Amino acid sequence: MNKTSFGKGLQDGIPIGLGYFAVSFTFGIMAIQSGLTAWQAVLISLTNLTSAGQFAGIGIIAAGGSLWEMALTQLVINLRYCLMSFSLSQKLEKGVSNGHRLAVAFGVTDEIFGVSASQEGRISPWYNYGVMCVAIPGWTLGTLAGAVSGSLLPDFLVSALSVAIYGMFLAVIIPPAKEKSSRSWRSDRSDGCEYVICSGSGTE
């Protein structure tokens, strides 16, 4: 176990877990409105970890759709996670076993992929486990809270919670992107100055 990587993952997972709690709160409400029990909603969140897929799924359940419709919808919506997993597998440190790779792939979401991909160099699977240990309970507990008490909230607040995930995703992605852009600009400026100096001194 890499305690340093795990601790860093826990720290980076806190804002993701909080955002997931807000969004899955809305899912819990909609699941109950679609005829599911609270524990069915919690089980879906615990085993799926896909916001768009889950919201689409309960829509199909409420409409009485077939299993084929459900399977095709989930395939189309969640296919992007395969691409993210392929990319993330190249980010993991060398020598990681297939078991660790499968465990990391289970926890891949847009936000977890984003925060993992933004790390410098290769990462330990324990970093992802740290993020998952905060994000998954946040998603699951939010579903439970929404299923149990969501009917007490006004509609406008429920709608606001449902878009929290987009703000959270931007908060996860933008700071590392700005930092990398700044480093790239400084590097380009340094290269340009070096070129001017070398040219002025006649150095090839």
Whether 182 maps to a domain, the answer reads no
Residue 12 scores a pLDDT above 70:
yes
- Residue-number span of the structural domain to which 76 is assigned: 3-173
pLDDT tens sequence across 133-167: 999 999 999 999 988 886 666 666 656 555 555 55
SS (H, E, C) 123-180: ECHHHHHHHHHHHHHHHHHHHHHHHHHHHHCCHHHHHHHHCHHHHHHHHHHHHHHHHH
Which one is predicted more confidently, 198 or 112?
112
Share above pLDDT 70 across residues of the chain, in percent, rounded to a whole number: 73
* Dihedral in degrees, nearest 10, Cα atoms 77, 81, 82, 88: 170
Q: What per-residue confidence (pLDDT) applies to 6? A: 92
Whether 93 maps to a domain, the answer reads yes
Whether 185 maps to a domain, the answer reads no
pLDDT tens sequence across 78-97: 998 988 998 888 889 888 88
Q: What per-residue confidence (pLDDT) applies to 149? A: 81
Number of domains in the chain: 1
Whether 179 maps to a domain, the answer reads no
Q: What pTM was estimated for this model as a whole? A: 0.72
Which one is predicted more confidently, 47 or 190?
47
Average of per-residue pLDDT across 58-79: 90
Whether 73 maps to a domain, the answer reads yes
Which one is predicted more confidently, 1 or 102?
102
Average of per-residue pLDDT across 162-179: 54
Whether 81 maps to a domain, the answer reads yes
Phi and psi at 174, nearest 5°, equal: -65, -45
Whether 101 maps to a domain, the answer reads yes
- Taking CA atoms, 117 is separated from 2, 110, 121, in Å, by 18, 10, 9
Whether 186 maps to a domain, the answer reads no
